[in-house]
Structure 1
Amino acid sequence: MKTLLINPAFSQYGGLQGHGGSVIPLNLCYLAAYVRQQNPDIKIKIIDSEILGLSHEETVSESKNFNPDIIGITANTCVFDSVINLISQLKLKLPNTKIVIGGPHPSALPKQSLIESGAHFTIAGEGEITFNELVTYIKNKNAHWNEIDGLTYYNHNKSIISNKPRELIEDLDILPFPARDLLDNDLYSPPPTKRVGLGPNTLLTTGRGCPFSCGFCGARTVWTQRTRIRKPEYIIKEIEECIDKYNIHNFNLTDEFFTINKQRTLKICNAIIEKKLNISWICSSRAQFLDEEVLKIMKRAGCHEISFGIESGNKEILKKINKSLDLNEAKRVIDLTKKVGITTHASYIIGYIGETENTIKDTIKFSKKLNTHIAAFFIASPLPGTPLYVEAKEKNYLRSDASWINYSPLSNVESVLKLPTISIQEIRKWHRKAIREYYLRPSYILLKILSIRHWYDIVNLFGGLKLFFRIKK
């Protein structure tokens, strides 16, 4: 039996090239590794159409050559139009192959995604166990789909059935390391705002879930708010495998909140130092609770950059977002991070519900006050499954003519939110204005020049400029 996993093309179908970098589809690598562990007789292949620059037609051709029994496709919201197109072509050329989609979008809208995509199944939530069970059932010609938790499908009467939710994996360390061997790791690189070294780069997961409930965040659609963490010794073993097997020394940690537990953070960092692992990495954290002890150990362990979600410089908007962040504390943490010598990255959202020109001005002003090495401005995107989506739908703030690609937080297409307080066109104007005002300041340009320490800093600078000019006014 053959199983094919596809990361669909997006850049050539409306996505902004370079926005998300060229990062490895780690979710597909986890699926492949788990299926391979549980069903070693099954042949597995991953086609990363995005990184290979394959059109849908080329992807279908590659798929047909492999002739799989089941195809799994990962789908977030802004790529879903592309997924729909791809599946329609796959079904024409591979009419006997079962197609299943998973990821954030089908997790939030399992039935709607099934109808719109034309797939045979959708998987909601954490996918490893559900996908493996589906593969096993198909291999054994067992069509009792009702026995598979987390699955949505058509029954024999053509009615849509959603089974009970799949329980979360309690111990993440039962999962084998991602099957990076199924991909060419040399092809992957992060966006210029999150590159911390030259050479191959990969994603690394040390935990899943976030205890906070920011209104825009889609992470809990799959992981929920429960935080589950991997044991430090398993994390170190995976890092060592990446170094020894793939010559990868640069890591982007996928955790929403890596520093959630101080003692665990110290234990991981001390293990990296004791093992003398020559690595560089970036992580995400909250701009609160961090102290100099942790930051210094992180830097010694190879942390070159920390990404902080600030979201807004206006307290009322922060309340609407449900972001429990003290802006003074954020300033303290970011100043301390700079002092230790770690690159600071802050992200902001423009156009959240309740936004006005004045609240956007507050955000731009505060971003300049923080003066992080990198500032990322995104247009608010009401991703399905989030409180922002629920509120926008209830208040009729969603454009009726919008496609799924309009849900992209950074693109050259119009956004989906139509607010009573500020127009879509004004949000776009202020978004572009925020980027220009931040990056074209003489003080920032000087900071950037003085911050150049490595070759990758120069590479990042030119990569950032290319992305800057791709964003239309």
Structure 2
Amino acid sequence: GYRMRDLDNVEMELNYLKSLGIEDIWFKDVVFGVNKRHYYGLLELLKKPEHKFRWATLSRVDVVTDDILVKMAEAGCHTIQFGVESSDPDILESIEKGISPERVKEVFNLCRKLGIRTLAHFIIGLPGETMETAKRTIDFALDIDPDFASFNVASPRVGTPLRDEAIEKGYISDELTELDNSITFPTMDLGTLSKEDVWRLRSEAVRRFYLRPSYLYRRLTGVRSFRELTNSIFEGTNLVVNSLNPKPDPAEMVEV
């Protein structure tokens, strides 16, 4: 279940982290801001001079308000990850995402103005996906222009409604149990898109997003340390190599 920690307990840990010389924190909370009263209290803690940290977290565009984003920036937040998934309203409704493309744009624009970096997660190959909806989602990723984007392949994990739907509609076999490799290779044949189509679309998304001259310039000029520069070069090289692979290597597919 979901349990929020007592703020006094959080403050004790913040003091301990500061004593260790820690300067950057990752709040592993998939819905940061869902209980505004609690999180406003946490943000006030983080604004204290003795608790000055740089920090990052995850949230949802239907959870964060403009006000809480402002307070997060004031309290030292430098990066937020958001699950955007798709720009197609029908696909978003089918997975009960509860967000709209319009609100996504508003949140990402405000984060940019506040100096908060964003990472947007997208999923290609959800039920109902077509070549047209996938390409519109890629265009949408370029439009909202996050600092980082993660393009994943829909993975029907065991015990999820997506897996039940995939079996019912014949996208996968009910006897097939595959490891969750949603970044590595597709597992569903949708009828509207083959596995190979989904893989090619993901590769196209990575190339179009990360190999833009404007993006490369922004990343290089925005580097804050030598370590960040070396990480960017390493990650960029891997992205290019992986995106140029036209389809997943069958030898890498594992069935259990």
TM-score by length of 1: 0.48
In structure 2, relative to structure 1, the CA distance for the partners of 1:408 and 1:433 (3 Å cut) is same
Instruction: Determine the structure 2 residue equivalent to 1:365.
Output: 139
Distance in 2 separating the partners of 1:399 and 1:254: 34
Query: Is 1:268–2:39 an aligned residue pair?
Result: no
Give, in angstroms, the shift of residue 302 of structure 1: 2.4
Partner in structure 2 of residue 439 of structure 1: 210
Assess if the C-alpha contact under 8 Å between 1:292 and 1:340 holds in 2. no
Compared CA separation, residues 368 and 289, structure 1 to 2 (3 A) = same
Other-structure match for 2:10: 235
* 1:324 is aligned to 2:98: yes
Task: Determine the structure 2 residue equivalent to 1:376.
Answer: 150
Provide the identity percentage. 30
| Cα deviation digits, residues 97-146 of structure 1 (max 9, x gap) | xxxxxxxxxxxxxxxxxxxxxxxxxxxxxxxxxxxxxxxxxxxxxxxxxx
Is the partner of 1:353 in helix, strand or coil?
coil
Q: What is the DSSP-based 3-state SS (H/G/I as helix, E as strand, rest coil) of the residue aligned with 2:25?
A: strand
Deviation at 1:453, TM superposition (A): 3.4
- C-alpha separation in 2, matches of 1:422 and 1:461: 32
- Other-structure match for 1:287: 61
For 1:241, the aligned partner's letter is Y
Measured in 1, the distance between the counterparts of 2:5 and 2:159 equals 26
Q: Distance in 2 between matches of 1:316 and 1:447?
A: 33
Quote the Cα distance in structure 2 between the aligned partners of 1:401 and 1:433: 31
SS at match of 2:163: helix
Match of 1:422 among 176, 188, 193: 193
RMSD between superposed Cα atoms in Å:
2.2
Query: How many angstroms apart in 2 are the aligned matches of 1:231 and 1:467?
Result: 41
Q: Which runs of 5+ in 1 are unaligned?
A: 1-222
Query: Which amino acid in the other structure matches residue 156 of structure 2?
Result: P
CA distance 1:236–1:404, shift in 2 (3 Å): farther
In the alignment, does 2:121 pair up with 1:350? no
| Displacement after TM superposition at 1:336 (Å) | 0.4
Deviation at 1:417, TM superposition (A): 1.4
In 2, are the aligned partners of 1:399 and 1:417 still within 8 Å (CA)?
no
Of the three residues 96, 102, 111, the one matched with 1:337 is 111
Look up the equivalent residue of 2:201 and give its one-letter code: W
Which moved further from structure 2: 276-285 or 332-341? 276-285
Q: How many residues align?
A: 244
Deviations 1:37-94 (A, max 9, x none): xxxxxxxxxxxxxxxxxxxxxxxxxxxxxxxxxxxxxxxxxxxxxxxxxxxxxxxxxx
Q: For residue 305 of structure 1, what is the amino acid of its counterpart?
A: T
Aligned residue number for residue 208 of structure 1: none
SS of alignment partner, residue 47 of structure 2: helix
Candidates 304, 321, 333, aligned match of 2:78? 304
Counterpart-to-counterpart distance in 2, 1:449 and 1:260: 34
Q: Given the superposition, is the C-alpha separation of residues 441 and 401 from structure 1 closer, same or farther in structure 2, using an over 3 Å criterion?
A: farther
Rg bigger for which structure? Answer: 1
CA deviation profile, 1:378-417 (whole Å, cap 9, x unmatched): 0001111211011112222225785633x21112xx4221
Distance in 1, matches of 2:222 and 2:163, equals 39
Q: CA contact under 8 A between 1:299 and 1:341: conserved in structure 2?
A: yes
Residue 281 to residue 460, structure 1, CA distance change in 2 (3 Å): farther
Q: For the residues of structure 1 that align with 2:214 and 2:121, how far apart are their CA atoms?
A: 19
Deviations 1:269-317, CA, capped at 9 Å, x for gaps = 1112215224222111112353444223322322110011110011111
- Structure 2 letter corresponding to 1:266: Y
Q: 1:321 to 1:456 in 2, by over 3 A?
A: farther
- Does the 8 A contact of 2:158 with 2:177 survive in 1? no
Q: Secondary structure at the match of 2:50?
A: coil
Structure 1 counterpart of 2:163, from 385, 389, 404: 389
Native 8 Å contact 2:34 2:63 kept in 1? no
Gaps in structure 2 of 5+ consecutive residues: 247-256
Superposition TM-score, scaled by structure 2 size: 0.86
- What secondary structure, in the 3-state scheme, does the structure 2 residue paired with 1:258 have? coil
Distance 1:455 1:338, change over 3 A: farther
Q: Which amino acid aligns with 1:395?
A: K
Structure 2 CA distance, aligned partners of 1:394 and 1:275?
56
